[in-house]
Amino acid sequence: MENTSFKIKKVQKRSAEVQAADVLREAIVSGEIPLGTRLTEIHSSEQLGVSRSTIRTAFHQLVQEGLIVQIPYTGWSVMTLGPEDAWELYTLRASLEALAAKIVAKKVGEDTASGHVTSAITDAFGLLKSACQQGSKGEIATADMNLHSTIIKLSGHSRLIDQYSRIQSQILICIRSSDALVASPAHIVEQHLPLINALNNGNAEEAAKEAILHNETEGAILVSHLQQRDK
């Protein structure tokens, strides 16, 4: 039989440093490693079965993502989420997502590859609805994050995508914290409907407005919760 081409993914070569950063990142955003936890290179290297230099490189990567803080002469610590942190993240996120929503809705309105765009939005929203119907809290937060990151990617704005990626892990932590405050998962779906409708209708100004409103509304609730917690 002759050799034929198959549609399969290529093997990805990933360094130990990248794998260590991935494991630590997932543990932090999932809550397995609680926010504010002190980290040491020795303990982490023993747990992950890698060298201290590998862990150090992974820590530095997560510092760039804002998930770990390097404390001079002291060591490393997982980020905390206080009222000021939440405010900074949701206001920054609102600006970035509003721009992305405006660009994406404009693409739909101008019929520029709108079939691909609306299909991607529908699929991502469908995953969120499924997660809210039968998923765990972690799965809901992941699907919620996926919907927003899909809109960012669909914008095709390379610098916007790059800036968003720098805070995406912190945003996921905020989403997990915010979604946990919602009484029913069905409400999470309802929160996103105005934005989804504006995008699919190709209404750029409305989409931008809804992106801001969604972030400001849920962000303010989270900030208020954190303020009460810290009293």
Measure the CA–CA gap between 5 and 224, rounded to whole angstroms. Answer: 56
Residues 91 and 116 in one domain: yes
Residues 119 and 173 in one domain: yes
- Each residue's pLDDT, cut to its tens digit, for the chain (231 residues) gives 455 554 555 545 678 999 999 999 999 999 999 999 999 999 999 999 999 999 999 999 999 999 999 988 788 999 999 999 999 999 999 999 999 999 999 999 886 556 789 999 999 999 999 999 998 999 999 999 999 999 999 999 999 999 999 999 999 999 999 999 998 999 999 999 999 999 999 999 999 999 999 999 999 999 999 999 988
Q: 62: domain CATH number?
A: 1.10.10.10
Residues 132 and 195 in one domain: yes
Residue 59 lies in a domain: yes
pLDDT of res. 113: 57
pLDDT of res. 73: 79
pLDDT of res. 198: 97
pLDDT of res. 11: 47
CA 224-225-230 angle, to 5 degrees, is 100
Residue 178 lies in a domain: yes
Residue 7 lies in a domain: no
135 close to 124: Cβ distance less than 8 angstroms? no
* Structural domain harbouring 91: 83-229
Burial zone of 38 (CB within 10 Å; 0-12 exposed, 13-18 middle, 19+ buried): exposed
Residues 73 and 95 in one domain: no
What are the two backbone dihedrals, phi and then psi, of residue 75, each rounded to the nearest 5 degrees? 145, -140
In the chain, alpha helices (H): 16-30, 41-48, 52-64, 83-109, 114-134, 137-154, 158-179, 185-200, 204-229
Burial zone of 184 (CB within 10 Å; 0-12 exposed, 13-18 middle, 19+ buried): exposed
Measure the CA–CA gap between 38 and 69, rounded to whole angstroms. Answer: 10
CA 51-22-87 angle, to 5 degrees, is 120
